[in-house]
Amino acid sequence: MGRKLLYLFLLITFSAQSQIEQGSLFSEAIGKNIKKYTRNSQNAYANQDFERAEFLFDSLINNVVNGSYLDNFKVRKLSGKKIELYKFEKPVFLMTYASWCTPGVGEIPALNEIAEKHYKDIDFVILFWDSKENVRKSTRDYSSKINIIYVDEKENKNDHIVEIMKHSLGFPTSFFIDENKRIVDVRRGVLHPYNEKYEISFELNYNSFLNGISLLKNLGDDDKDHFASKQNP
């Protein structure tokens, strides 16, 4: 009986270790490819070849980032208290942001509505690369169902993971992460022209967010087919 229990323990341990070894951390996976990607992407934008730039981004995400595991590092809540990213135990919708980014007029209302509907099953997290003061000013309109956290680089000058997370893919960028911290997909924010109508901005962002979290949760057909058209509050 004792030998069987030992064998079972070793089998479970080996399986768990093998599962972790199959996927690398995000910082490791992208660190091996980011210089080449950045160089090629900058050349594409310099030549105004936006189709190639988009292709390069999609290729990086599909072939390098997806399937890697999010690094764990410390962030702060608006209260100033430090927590680790792995404290969020549900599947995570993580959007990286900064106070100088200008969201589309319908972006925050769309995300608020999505979060209000699905917060019980998914942790909605906005990670700002900014100071506490700037973050507080920029997050007044977010729903209470969305977790606001921030990283002040003045406190993390020597943190390699923070540097990779902030500077590799730009922002706003949305990460869709399963409960095991495996990255399922990464998407850029919805591009919007200046003075875009509220209804159009809301609809584009709503469906983009919903499409992303559908990867993390089985949504009903009614919700999947919902094309939002809201009045500007």
Same domain, 40 and 104: no
**Domain coverage including residue 109:** 72-233
**pLDDT tens-digit series, residues 132-187:** 899 999 999 999 999 999 988 777 655 677 777 777 887 788 999 999 999 999 98
Residue 221 covered by a domain: yes
CATH code, domain with 127: 3.40.30.10
Same domain, 34 and 106: no
Same domain, 64 and 140: no
Same domain, 62 and 125: no
pLDDT of residue 6: 39
Same domain, 62 and 100: no
Residue 143 tokens read as: 């729903």
pTM here is: 0.80
* End-of-domain residue from the set 68, 97, 128: 68
Alpha-carbon distances, residue 62 vs 70, 91, 220 (angstroms): 15, 19, 26
**pLDDT tens-digit series, residues 50-83:** 899 889 989 999 999 999 999 998 899 998 899 9
Same domain, 232 and 191: yes
Task: Name the domain count of the chain.
Answer: 2
Same domain, 155 and 55: no
pLDDT of residue 193: 64
Alpha helices in the chain (DSSP H): 2-22, 26-31, 34-46, 50-60, 107-118, 132-138, 160-167, 198-213, 221-224
